[in-house]
Amino acid sequence: MKKLRYSVWLIATLGLLLWLAHRSVSEPASPTTVAVAQLLPPAPYPPDFEQQLSRSDIDITLHAEKELPQDLPWQCETEAPIIGSPRAVKGGTLRLSNVGPFPANFLAFGSTSPQFFHYNLFERIDIPLVWEHPATGQPMAGLATAWCRLGNSLYFRLNGQARYSNGRPLRARDFALGTLLRLKCGDTAIAQHIRALRIYGDSIVEVVTPPRYADILTISRLLKPAEPGFYADFGSNYSEAYAQRIPPTTGAYTVAEVQRGRLIALQKVPNWWAADLPGFRYTHNPNRIEHHFFTDEAQAWQAFINRRLDIMQTRNVAAWQSKLDGVPAAEEGRIRLHSLRIEQPMPPYGIALNAAALPDINLRRGLLQAMDMTSAVDILFRGYAERLPRFTCGYRQLRHHCEQYKYSPEAARDCFALAGYTETGADGILRRPDGARLSVRLSFTPSEKLNTVVTLLTQSAAACGAEIVPEPLPWQNISRQLNEGSHQLTFWATMPGLPIPDYGRFFHSKATGHDAPFRLNDREMDTAIDAALKAETEEQARTAAAEMDSLIHERAIWLPGWMENRANIAAWQHVQLPDNYAGVYDIAESHQLWIEP
């Protein structure tokens, strides 16, 4: 009888377990279950972690918290204007277009080539130690709740609630690991700005900077943590082994779905640790953000009109308005137009001249005066854009004047004559006495906008006796040219250095790769870059910036394009924006939008 009762109990128990297992597979976990499942203990650091730190290019040391200097002048976030809108609704899916190249990898650092989607994936999602209020510029709490400066040292006290998207807690030593791994991958910017890193217990990070101007926002953007569990397999094959792994983030979203070449979907991290911080309370509203990739903007516009996208953003307002003419949804007010002015550092859109390929400065000066960029901008944008006044544009602390080359056929021909082009061919193009024609290549990634600009510049140059040969190429080919230095002229832009310009990566004689298209080997320029790096006050930094912009003009290596200081979007009526928007140019990447049910 006892055996029978035991058998019945055993069968019932197994049945219950099977039912629970089936339920856990067939039904999605509740938010509570997901959040609890993600609260994981910290992962161990590599066994030889301290030995690796001792061999680092930066002095990185670990200390007990009791060794921290006493009576530090801690500062914390003060009352600031609201970011986003209290009317924001949480939830829903925001569908965006992306006409850039699909990322070849998801490496948070150490990528061998530029990956533009990394801006969306890391720069706009990961939370820095301290970040800049978009309207006031004042420091806001991020991973750190308090910070201070003492001499050449900056101190950060971490938020004890901070966690990664994989559920593991953030610890101060993660910044030591992140610095170590980035140094191993050749990140030179860290060594330029950080002399030493001292870790006190689990919650305090001290950064010792060289004796030059380095504000707290610069260091906060530079210093990144690494979750040790995720990087447990880090080795010499890192870039291949980790290329398709999704790094855990400290931000509100993580990658949930990847359809190669078509879609990257971000999902809200359940019970995100920073959701109630003042700077984030009314932001990061949608539960899901879908980035849909298209080969060109025309495809994206068609998807938007067909309601497969929620918003479209453009830099070409005139074309944007013409595309919506006659669209019923626009005429009925179901598609709304928004044009917002953005006050932030501007990407240096323009044409870079390769000084190594075009060593004659008179030739370069002639080309800069032969391409009528001002007229091209006026024709293309119909008054909705303006020329960039200088390379360092949009920085709150940099307001200096800089000379510009103006379109002048007479001045251009004078410069070409000094470069040896003194004869005119039957086609109107200047030649040297040996018959060499004044012909240069202009490489660019084709688009409706750039095709028009290049056509206009080619026509204006021809009137000055110069042949500009358009070279439309896929971005991958442009990137290869920049890495090899095989280009002559190239339409170029990159993300500006924040919060102050980083001239070294663009103009230093040792600079290479996508961010160094100018290939200028100039001792005076190198000296000016070093002076900018050694500036110990903000006033010295401003003086150094003015000197750099003057040299950029004098060396004739860059033709300024247009300012990307207006964000223009078309949005379906269910997409809402804050009344007093202050944020980045890519409005969706400010994470202040929300979806009305």
Q: Are 479 and 493 spatial neighbours (Cβ–Cβ below 8 Å)? A: no
pLDDT, residue 346, reads 74
- What pLDDT, in 10s, does the model give residues 465-480? 999 999 999 988 998 9
Top pLDDT among 178 and 190 is at 178
Do 334 and 455 have their domain in common? no
- What pLDDT, in 10s, does the model give residues 418-436? 999 999 999 999 999 999 9
Top pLDDT among 253 and 568 is at 253
**Mean pLDDT to the nearest integer, 446-462:** 93
Q: Is residue 101 part of a domain?
A: no
Count CA atoms closer than 13 A to 30's CA, side-chain side: 2
Burial (0-12, 13-18, 19+ Cβ within 10 Å), 32: exposed
**Mean pLDDT to the nearest integer, 3-18:** 42
Do 428 and 491 have their domain in common? yes
**Peptide bond preceding 247 in cis form (omega within 30 of 0):** no
Q: Is residue 479 part of a domain?
A: yes
Do 423 and 544 have their domain in common? yes
- The span from the CA of 488 to the CA of 517, in Å, is 9
Q: Is residue 282 part of a domain?
A: yes
**Mean pLDDT to the nearest integer, 168-185:** 97
Check which CATH number belongs to the domain holding 434 and give it. Answer: 3.10.105.10
Of the segments 11-15, 47-51, 78-82, 560-564, which one has the largest average pLDDT value? Answer: 47-51
- The span from the CA of 139 to the CA of 582, in Å, is 15
Q: Is residue 298 part of a domain?
A: yes
pTM greater than the 0.75 cutoff: no
pLDDT, residue 497, reads 66
pLDDT, residue 20, reads 36
* 10 has pLDDT over 80: no
Do 374 and 319 have their domain in common? no
The domain total for the chain is: 4
Q: Are 513 and 483 spatial neighbours (Cβ–Cβ below 8 Å)? A: yes
Token pair for 79: 């009352």
Q: What phi, psi does 291 have (nearest 5°)? A: -100, 110
Residue that is last in its domain, among 217, 248, 279: 248
SS3 (DSSP) at 126? coil
Top pLDDT among 555 and 12 is at 555
Domain span holding position 297:
254-344+567-595
Do 53 and 190 have their domain in common? yes
Do 332 and 359 have their domain in common? no
Residue that is last in its domain, among 248, 275, 299: 248
The residue among 141, 159, 164 whose CA lies nearest residue 250 is: 164
- The span from the CA of 480 to the CA of 4, in Å, is 76
Please state whether beta strands 59-63 and 350-353 pair in parallel, antiparallel, or not at all (unpaired): unpaired
- What pLDDT, in 10s, does the model give residues 291-344? 999 988 889 989 999 999 999 987 666 667 777 888 888 878 899 888 887 777
Residue that is last in its domain, among 248, 276, 308: 248
Q: Is residue 95 part of a domain?
A: no
- What pLDDT, in 10s, does the model give residues 195-218? 999 999 999 999 998 876 667 888
Burial (0-12, 13-18, 19+ Cβ within 10 Å), 42: middle
- Determine what percent of the chain is predicted with pLDDT higher than 70: 90
Residue 593 one-letter amino acid: L
Q: Are 561 and 351 spatial neighbours (Cβ–Cβ below 8 Å)? A: yes
Do 190 and 339 have their domain in common? no
* 236 has pLDDT over 90: yes
Q: Is residue 529 part of a domain?
A: yes
Per the prediction, the chain carries an average pLDDT of 87
Q: Is residue 235 part of a domain?
A: yes
Do 439 and 578 have their domain in common? no
Q: Are 432 and 583 spatial neighbours (Cβ–Cβ below 8 Å)? A: no
Kindly provide the b/e burial profile for residues 128-163, where b requires at least 16 CB atoms within 10 angstroms of the residue's own CB. Answer: bbbbbbbeeeebbbbbbbbbebeeebbbbbbbeebb
Confidence band of 500 (pLDDT split at 50, 70, 90): low
pLDDT, residue 305, reads 92
